[in-house]
């Protein structure tokens, strides 16, 4: 983002701050690196704190309404208090860990619409907190996630949309207060199927892959035969034919429901 003016505690000579990301392309479990540059104003100022974090804009369902909410899901404090001299430039490098559950925002170079995730900068001056603009990052799939996505493409599924929803998927390792759903249109061979929704919930060893067919309103239900969750190791996923695996499950569910 560009330099943003902050109010000085004495009412004049405000500081300005800019966050520069070294590399905007990351993966879950990776690190986004950058530097926060604070430009002093015309007066000395006491900086009480500086931090960076990750923020996502998620959907929140309540009654018949759906709203958007900004949720900070990672935060790192950068040093302690210091005095920023007039006209001084103070640069603070950082490396911010990307949680393993972080939703992907880009697949095969295609930006997923509605996936607003980025780095926020927070500067505390004279007991006031000023948050900077969002600096977007591109979160690419892990190799194991890409293998599942590629399997859907090989079966003829087409990407429909993606969103992030506040809430938890029961029975998974989820720790963040929201999750991502990636929706696909089915090919003709799966007639009667409206769509398939895919969610990844990963940690540093493996991930839960959650699939739901013909999703109905409400929370995920493990008792529904259109719900499927299975585990995939992040380092041993190559030994499975995921296209065949997914096709077998889709065919079983479709046969039970006389969809195809």
Nearest Cα to Cα of residue 112 among 140, 134, 133, 147: 140
Neighbours of 94 (CB within 10 A): 22
**pTM beyond 0.75:** yes
**Three-class SS of residue 251?**
helix
Q: Residue 153: exposed, middle, or buried by beta-carbon count in 10 A (0-12, 13-18, 19+)?
A: middle
Task: Give the relative orientation of helices 242-256 and 143-154 as an angle to the nearest 10 degrees.
Answer: 50
Apex CA 192: angle with CA 257 and CA 188, to 5°? Answer: 130
Compute the distance between CA of residue 19 and CA of residue 30 in angstroms, rounded to an integer: 19
Neighbour tally for 72: CB within 10 Å: 13
| Nearest alpha-carbon partner for 92 in 123, 62, 133, 125 | 123
pLDDT digits (tens, 9 = 90+) for 179-205: 999 999 999 888 778 889 999 999 999
User: Which of 44, 21, 35, 19 shows the shortest CA–CA distance to 125?
Assistant: 44
Tokens of 217: 């309103």
The CA angle 32-163-154, to the nearest 5 degrees, is 90
Q: Report the DSSP beta bridge partners of residue 92.
A: 36
Q: Does residue 229 register a pLDDT over 80?
A: yes
Q: Coil, helix or strand for 81? A: coil
pLDDT tens, position by position, 75-128: 999 988 999 999 999 999 999 999 999 999 999 888 998 899 999 999 888 656
CA distance 238 to 149: 13
Q: Which residue has the higher pLDDT, 66 or 238?
A: 238
Express each pLDDT in 2-27 by its tens digit.
445 454 443 445 788 899 999 999 99
If you search the block for the tokens 């996936």, which residue do you land on?
A: 115
């Amino acid at each position: 983002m560009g330099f943003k003016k902050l109010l000085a505690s004495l009412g004049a000579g405000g500081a300005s701050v800019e966050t520069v990301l070294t590399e905007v392309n990351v993966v879950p479990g990776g690190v986004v690196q950058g530097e926060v540059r604070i430009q002093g104003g015309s007066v000395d100022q006491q900086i009480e704190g500086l931090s960076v974090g990750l923020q996502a804009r998620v959907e929140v369902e309540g009654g018949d309404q759906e709203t958007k909410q900004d949720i900070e899901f990672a935060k790192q404090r950068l040093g302690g208090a210091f005095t920023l001299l007039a006209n001084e430039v103070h640069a603070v490098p950082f490396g911010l860990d990307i949680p393993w559950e972080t939703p992907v925002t880009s697949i095969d170079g295609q930006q997923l619409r509605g996936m607003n995730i980025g780095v926020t900068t927070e500067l505390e001056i004279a007991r006031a907190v000023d948050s900077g603009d969002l600096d977007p990052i591109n979160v690419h799939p892990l190799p194991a996630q890409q293998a599942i996505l590629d399997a859907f493409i090989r079966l003829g599924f087409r990407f429909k949309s993606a969103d992030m929803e506040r809430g938890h998927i029961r029975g998974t390792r989820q720790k963040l207060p929201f999750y991502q759903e990636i929706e696909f249109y089915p090919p003709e061979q799966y007639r009667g199927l409206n769509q398939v929704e895919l969610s990844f919930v990963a940690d540093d060893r493996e991930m839960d892959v959650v699939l739901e067919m013909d999703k109905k309103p409400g929370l995920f239900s493990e008792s529904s035969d259109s719900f499927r969750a299975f585990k995939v190791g992040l380092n041993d996923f190559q030994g499975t034919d995921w296209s065949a695996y997914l096709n077998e499950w889709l065919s079983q569910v479709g046969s039970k429901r006389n969809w195809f």
